[in-house]
Amino acid sequence: MSDVSRKRILVIDDAALVRTYYRAALEARGFVVEEALNGLEGLEKLLLEPFDLAIVDVNMPRMDGMTFLQTLRAKELPVSGIPVLVTSTEAKAQDLAAARRAGANYYLVKPISQEMLAEYAAMFCGAPR
């Protein structure tokens, strides 16, 4: 198992069940997980505390995932350089391309298995395999 102790991940999703599902997957692998309910809250948390990765949903109230990404990437370093993994139920090529343009490091189409999520999280946190 990868050593990911103390690596911090922010899960940004408006669905409480999804946050619980991702949290369980990531905590089982030793990540420290924080949550935000929308893009705006996600930005606030990223500006206040250090994170190694943000996992963000696209369709959310108040601030959606794409707006979150564009706003984050326009900030100063180092916060603007945080890796971001976008998750969405939209699987079309144009959705993927839009996420890339907004600054996503990677795009996963829901449903995402807990194993897959933990694998990608470990990869983006730079944890040894």
C-beta closer to another protein: residue 13 or 52? 13
| CB-based contact 85:120 (threshold 8 Å) | yes
Q: How many residues bind another protein (CB under 8 A)?
A: 20
Exactly one of 1, 6, 20, 92 binds another protein (CB under 8 A); that residue is 20
In which order are the strands placed within the sheet that holds 106-109?
32-36, 8-12, 53-57, 84-88, 106-109
Cα separation of 122 and 87, whole Å? Answer: 16
**Minimum distance from CB of 59 to another protein (Å)?**
7
Give me the 49-78 binding string for another protein, x by CB under 8 A, dash otherwise. Answer: ----------x-------------------
Helix, strand, coil percent values for the chain (each to nearest 5): 45, 20, 40
**Binding status of residue 19 toward another protein by CB under 8 A:** yes
Which positions lie near another protein, rule CB under 8 A?
15-24, 35, 59, 87, 89-91, 110-113
